[in-house]
Structure 1
Amino acid sequence: MSEFAINEIFQSVQGEGSHTGVPSIFVRFQGCPVGCPWCDTQHTWITDKKDTIPILELATKRQEAPTHAIFNSDTLLAEFTRRGYTAKHIVITGGEPCMHDLLPLTTALVATGFSVQIETSGTFPVRVHDDVFVTVSPKINMPGKYPILAEALLRADEIKHAIAMQKHIDELDTLLASVELTQQPVIFLQPISQQARATDLAIKTCIARNWRLSLQTHKFIGIE
């Protein structure tokens, strides 16, 4: 049975994209080589065995620490039960969860009755159950120099693109023009760090193109 390094598990509401407002259990994977300069979870980038802690200690770990516990699908489901979580929607995020083959894990979650969403940078193949809702936040021209995979874009149910300036919209246009999408994902623009200039640009572009605006609602209301 596959095992995964998990940085944190918590219950909240989804603050971004199509599922904004949906009660969710977040499962944050450890490990990401993409290197986005504005990333607000840089503590998840490196997976070091010395940072491994017991599962029972994960709930009380310091939030922004690289410490992580090792789970498989059975122990993850058991942890949801142990914590008394009630949400029926799972958000698998990171880090970069698609570094792993997530088909067995997501199949187990779906079979248990959860709806499942995965958030990925689009730089690794998306190996998940067919019913999983895939959010691709394409990380274009990042320091890790990983290209955005056409197969990831083709699997996307929504594309949620972080922007700070017009250059980022132009990069998205170039990326979308490079792939003949077989299904039309919903496209969201998300201002980086709630910057006023970026928010204004996102609003104007969404109105002009009939795209959607994604705000990090959880940050505005002060929840995780």
Structure 2
Amino acid sequence: MTTQSTLAQPHSEDYSRIEPLPDPPREPDAVRRKSLSTLDNTLGPHFVAFSDVLITGLIYVLIDEDDARELAPDFIFARQVGDPERVIRRNGYVISEAGKPPDLVLEVGSRSTGRRNYTVKRAGYAALGIGEYWRFDPSGGDYHDRHLAGDTLVDGEYVPVEIAVEPDGRRWGYSEVLELELWWEEGTLRFQDPANRQFLLTPEEERAARKLPRLVPELRKLAWPSWKRN
């Protein structure tokens, strides 16, 4: 999921000289891949107007080239990145080159990574200075210690974000970085804008919404008796 929410502004750097970092190991988990695809395709359009926003994932986050940590978040969000294209070409987020840590990272739970996500990685992302760390478990807590969890960095340590639980079992918490609510809804990760209480549309919902205006005239014809149309 090495994608960018918007095209970077033209830059004079010769990207051909950049040495790409190796890809992190890939894990065969269809549910996790689906969650990541939905995540990227939902948030990308929401931030498309911001040229300094980077949305990417499944690449290493390092302090510098000599950093031996192997931390590769499923999802990375960063504002005010001077040259997002350089991060893409680098195939890794090198903090010393980007000038700042990512603002937010997120991990999707899986059978092989679940426990590591809320132990080793939680400590690692705090040490890297990442402002928010979110964890989403599509299984509902089988892989992580809970359905949905978030942390915000305070004085170098993570403090849990308050997660509300609705009567129907849905859970949600507010991200100050994204200025959106993250919702766990029947194993799906959704984003809601608190300003209008509307969920960001998934790609499937976006396609359905585009089709609806074309279908309305046909539906009206079907609902209106033929003898009244004549």
- TM interval, shorter chain, is 0.3 to 0.5
After TM superposition, the score normalised by the length of structure 1 is 0.33
Larger helix proportion of the pair: 1
After TM superposition, the score normalised by the length of structure 2 is 0.32
Pick the structure with greater CA Rg: 2
Q: Which has the higher contact order (CA 8 A, sep 6+)?
A: 1
